[in-house]
Amino acid sequence: MNFSRDFVFGTATSSYQIEGAHNEGGRTPSIWDTFCATPGKVYEQHNGDNACDHYHRFEEDIQTLKKLGVDAYRFSIAWPRIFPEKGRYNPEGMAFYKNLAKRLREEGIKPAVTLYHWDLPMWAHEEGGWISRESVEWFKDYARTCFTELDSLVDSWITHNEPWCAGFLGYHQGVHAPGHTNMEEAVKAVHHMLLSHGEAVSMLKTEFSSSTPIGITLNLSPIYAKSDSANDQLAANNADGYSNRWFLDPVFKGTYPADMMNLFSKYVHSYDFIKEGDMETISVPCDFFGINYYSRAIVEFSAAQDFMSKGAFSDYEKTGMGWDIAPDEFKDLIIRLRNEYTDLPIYITENGAAYDDEVVNGKVHDVLRTRYIEQHIQAVSDLNDLGMNIQGYYLWSLLDNFEWSFGYDKRFGMIYVDFDTQERIWKDSAYRYAEIIKQREASLQIGS
């Protein structure tokens, strides 16, 4: 492995997944609190009420970050802590993040901050949520407040995390909050999220004349057809359109893909929610591109599945989520992005794996996760040898946490969390990650 001195090794979390303290500091509910309270939505009706209690234990967690030796820590801000009601700013909520960012800096860790990692305030949802174009204005107010209070403490801004999940899992597939199953709503919600991204990027650069790098994070998955048949090829094209191009094209080319607009028009009765100038706003130049990579997909044609192609069997080894372990396909993905979309610096803002970890004599020998991480960091190194300009890697996740509809059943952390006692236990993967980070420094001292 070969990493330059300024390559960023980090780890990532998000507010609702780790903070807990759901009714403290003036926070009001988000759509995820409501979704969790709805029977049948989340595994054993788990919720983020307490999660990792990070809100009270952030000092301990910062010490863990320090011991890991990470350069950067990616966390998100809970919007309902900042604006618990429409138009009412809550300085107490902001104080938590100010302090967190300040303490990270004091410890030499760069804060990389995500504005939206899915916890939309309930008040905003009740006024139409992302389906309403007004959401763009609410998000701008929220972003402006965060920029005003935190820009001097933050090393990079991420406007949105994975609008595919927030939009399509939340409003089309119904498996994430707010649990709607309406494709027209989903396409509108995505449009407004992307618009709010563009608006926030422009705001930071013009209103704030800030030089803090800002970008968006997309979850991307390379898609392969099960066979050469024309039908399977079409299925792969459509799956790629739904998962990847519906986001890449507007952000980098200022257009939605025409083939997908056409397919979606069976559900989307009118595209007149796309106003003049919107596509220019969405495609405003950013400073970097964030990618969350977990797996690839193989699809086959199925008439019943419409544009959502059917997942096909694969004999690849799987993680605890049942996701194929595919570091080579990760390379395909990045090379494609370089060829077809962008020269911007890339950050892998999430990569990791869930497994059923077991504590034995106070230790967690997570051999499979450790190997997953090594393989993907090796892939990043290989990609950089090919000149792909990946500037950082954030491991998902620092801690076992609330894994959305899977509740606490899926553990993604390199640090094990006992959710009864809140004890944190280093898994072998955490020791290995610390070693990888350290070795990079050691080899550089010799080489330079």
Is 162 catalytic? The answer is yes
**Shortest reach from residue 444's CB to ligand PNW, in Å:** 30
**Shortest reach from residue 279's CB to ligand PNW, in Å:** 25
Distance CA 301, CA 235 (A): 5
**Closer residue to ligand PNW in complex, CB, 135/319:** 319
387 secondary structure, DSSP code: T
Q: List the interface residues with ligand PNW, window 94-133 (CB under 6 A).
A: none
CB 46 within 8 A of CB 408: yes
**Shortest reach from residue 274's CB to ligand PNW, in Å:** 26
* By CB under 6 A, residue 396 contacts ligand PNW: yes
60-68, 157-165, 268-276, 416-424 -> range binding ligand PNW (CB under 6 A): 157-165
Binding mask 407-436 for ligand PNW (x = CB under 6 A): -----x------------------------
Binding mask 314-353 for ligand PNW (x = CB under 6 A): ------------------------------------x---
Q: Is the dihedral of CA 272, 275, 276, 282 positive or negative?
A: negative
85-93, 98-106, 161-169, 368-376 -> range binding ligand PNW (CB under 6 A): 161-169
Q: List the interface residues with ligand PNW, window 62-101 (CB under 6 A).
A: none
What angle is formed at CA 67 by the lines to CA 409 and CA 411, rounded to 5 degrees?
5
Among 162, 184, 232, 329, binds ligand PNW (CB under 6 A): 162
Q: List the interface residues with ligand PNW, window 203-222 (CB under 6 A).
A: 219
Q: How far is CA 396 from the centre of its chain?
A: 9
**Closer residue to ligand PNW in complex, CB, 17/429:** 17
**Closer residue to ligand PNW in complex, CB, 288/396:** 396
84-92, 158-166, 181-189, 268-276 -> range binding ligand PNW (CB under 6 A): 158-166
Tokens of 254: 């200022």
Q: List the interface residues with ligand PNW, window 252-311 (CB under 6 A).
A: 292
Among 90, 135, 161, 237, binds ligand PNW (CB under 6 A): 161
Distance CA 150, CA 338 (A): 32
Q: 403: annotated binding-site residue?
A: yes
Pairing type for strands 423-426 and 415-418 reads: antiparallel
**Shortest reach from residue 396's CB to ligand PNW, in Å:** 5
Q: 161: annotated binding-site residue?
A: yes
Distance CA 215, CA 414 (A): 26
**Closer residue to ligand PNW in complex, CB, 26/290:** 290
Is 350 catalytic? The answer is yes
Which one from 149, 162, 185, 329 is the annotated catalytic residue? 162
CB 168 within 8 A of CB 186: yes
Q: 267: annotated binding-site residue?
A: no
Q: For residue 84, which of 35, 120, 137, 59 has the smallest C-alpha distance?
A: 120
DSSP, collapsed to helix, strand or coil, labels residue 69 as coil
Report the helix count and the strand count for the chain, using DSSP H and E.
Answer: 17, 13
* By CB under 6 A, residue 14 contacts ligand PNW: yes
Q: 256: annotated binding-site residue?
A: no
Distance CA 150, CA 91 (A): 12
Q: How far is CA 391 from the centre of its chain?
A: 17
Distance CA 261, CA 155 (A): 37
DSSP, collapsed to helix, strand or coil, labels residue 307 as coil
Distance CA 359, CA 362 (A): 6
**Shortest reach from residue 170's CB to ligand PNW, in Å:** 11
Distance CA 301, CA 315 (A): 19
75 secondary structure, DSSP code: E
Q: 17: annotated binding-site residue?
A: yes
* By CB under 6 A, residue 165 contacts ligand PNW: yes
* By CB under 6 A, residue 403 contacts ligand PNW: yes
DSSP, collapsed to helix, strand or coil, labels residue 393 as strand
Give the list of residues 6+ apart from residue 135 with CB closer than 8 angstroms, or none: 124, 128, 129, 192, 193, 196
* By CB under 6 A, residue 33 contacts ligand PNW: no
- The secondary structure of the chain in percent helix, strand, coil, rounded to multiples of 5, reads 45, 15, 35
Distance CA 97, CA 411 (A): 25
**Shortest reach from residue 402's CB to ligand PNW, in Å:** 8
Count residues binding ligand PNW (CB under 6 A): 11
Residues at the annotated binding site?
A: 17, 117, 161, 294, 396, 403-404
Residues at the annotated binding site for substrate?
A: 17, 117, 161, 294, 396, 403-404
Residues marked active site are found at 162, 350
Question: What residues make contact with ligand PNW under the rule CB under 6 A?
Answer: 14, 17, 161-162, 165, 219, 292, 350, 396, 403, 412
